[in-house]
Amino acid sequence: MKRLLFILLFFIPINSNAQNDEWNIYKNFDYWKYPTIAITRNTSLEGHRIRTEITCSGAYLSAKLIYSYPSDWENIDIRKKLILDKIPFNFVGGGVFTEQHPKHYSVFSLDYNWSDVIQLDEENNFEFSNPFFEKLKTANPNSSYIIQGRSIKDEDYNPNKENHNFVDWEARVPLKNYLNVLEELKPYCINITLNQPLDNNSQFIKFEMKDDQITDKYYILGTFKPLFAGDTLNHISGSVDLRISSKTHNQRGKINIEKGFALPSLKGKCTDYFEDQSKDKCVLPRFINLEKQNFDFLEYAPIRIFDIDFDGINEVIIGTLGGNRGAFKYQIYEFTDNGDDMLPSISFRSDAEINKDLKTLTTRNDSNVCTSSVITYRSDGIGFKVIKKVENDYFDKNNPNKCITRVSD
């Protein structure tokens, strides 16, 4: 499933005299930080307006009410609700903001029970599980929903006594072309667009792992930021923030990689864009599911979780590009007791040899025809320890062209 985040907002426009009869799509990211569809409506209170916005900005669906009152009215009552097909959805929360002086904004959100993770089904249609958003999707397009609330004039309000001069208000919001405009928004929700220079990119790709052997035991959530592309294997690489927690043990931790991390499904994407910097646009999916892990380290994989050092406890093995001699580099991470950053132990090249019978791992590092090292680790039941190191180098300063081998046990 592909996941999306929408935020349903009620916002106040700059022009206080106009309202919309249909939903519109906005792509001006200087004002709207995310692609947005919106509709603005007057309420029954003169000078009071409400704007409904639905915005793609992550992996969850939440609803908010943002509106303003005329300057001589107070916003103190929190009993506001949205009525859709005769079903009320109450608003909670609050906060007052000044954004278009002297207009004041009060922000209310639907109860957190009405948050949802938005997914796309196999036919690429929106798939909701939350009652509010299910109802919004299936409502008659010729119908409307109603927002109700109340307020009081400044001159009638006294914070030290009970107030009885509240005025009820409501706004009717037509659904009309809502679903069509929501469909128009979909490409912006499921994709990100990269621009040159790529190393200044600030957009992220969310990913999860879909492997029953792993996901039955661990929660894995990652945020990948593309920063480089065009290596010999046509990978797109960058930084990653990874959070892992065990479902069965008190294990959790985080891993941050600054460069070289890659997602295999992006291999070969946008190659023409990176070969020609005048092509200043590359479209990538916003959400990715990683494939089931394999145990062939010659085949790049960003994440593996298994007991690699034979201590009876699973480790996390992170793969990055740009290792020695063009090989992939793998770094082993250990869970900690405090749940903070995971501890790196040894790293190895993708052509390392693992002997399960001897419980050893042998890896090498090569610089030139003479300079190299081969290190063998063996598990002692707690972790890997070095048992042998073979080094080739020009160790003799008096004979700088002589290649010498040193063996340390």
Query: How distant, in Å, are the alpha carbons of 129, 223, 262, 395 from that of 230?
Result: 40, 21, 12, 38
pLDDT at residue 113 in the model: 64
Range among 194-208, 247-261, 349-363, 385-399 rated most confident: 349-363
Exposure of 268 in the CB half-sphere (CA atoms within 13 A): 2
Around Cβ 375, how many Cβ atoms within 10 Å?
Answer: 20
Q: Is the pLDDT of residue 391 over 60?
A: yes
Higher pLDDT pick, 94 / 165:
165
At 212 the pLDDT is 78
Q: What are phi and psi of 40, to 5 degrees?
A: -115, 135
Q: What is the pLDDT of residue 103?
A: 47
Q: What average pLDDT does the segment 394-407 reach?
A: 88
Amino acid type, 83 = I
pLDDT in tens, 268-282: 887 776 677 677 778
d(Cα 255, Cα 325) in Å, to the nearest integer? 25
User: Does position 40 have pLDDT exceeding 80, yes or no?
Assistant: yes
Q: Please, are residues 205 and 74 in contact by the beta-carbon 8 Å criterion? A: no
> What is each CA distance from 394 to 215, 372, 405, 409, in whole angstroms?
49, 10, 9, 20
- When pLDDT is cut at 50, 70 and 90, the band that residue 239 belongs to is very high
pLDDT digits (tens, 9 = 90+) for 370-380: 999 999 999 99
pLDDT at res. 256? 96
Average pLDDT over the chain reads: 83
Identify the CA nearest to 327 among candidates 358, 355, 349: 349
What does the alpha-carbon distance between residue 187 and residue 143 come to, in Å, rounded to a whole number?
Answer: 26
Q: How far is it, in rounded angstroms, from Cα 94 to Cα 342?
A: 38
Alpha carbon 318 to chain centroid, angstroms: 19
Neighbours of 320 (CB within 10 A): 20
248 versus 153: the higher-pLDDT residue is 153
How large is the average pLDDT for residues 134-163?
Answer: 87
Round to whole Å and give the CA distance between 380 and 345: 14
Residue 64: predicted pLDDT: 74
Q: Is it the case that residue 233 has pLDDT exceeding 70?
A: yes
Strand-strand pairing, 61-68 and 6-10: parallel
Beta-carbon count within 10 A of 328 CB: 23
Residue 143: what pLDDT? Answer: 92
Of 24-28, 184-188, 319-323, the least confident = 24-28
pLDDT at site 37: 84
In sequence order, the 6+-apart residues with CB closer than 8 A to the CB of 313 are 307, 334, 335
- pLDDT for the residue numbered 268: 87
Q: What is the mean pLDDT of residues 156-172?
A: 85
The pLDDT of residue 348 is above 90: yes
Across the range 126-136, mean pLDDT stands at 84
Q: Would you place residue 395 in the very low, low, confident or very high pLDDT band (cuts 50, 70, 90)?
A: confident
Q: What is the pLDDT of residue 99?
A: 46
pLDDT higher at 70 or 155: 155
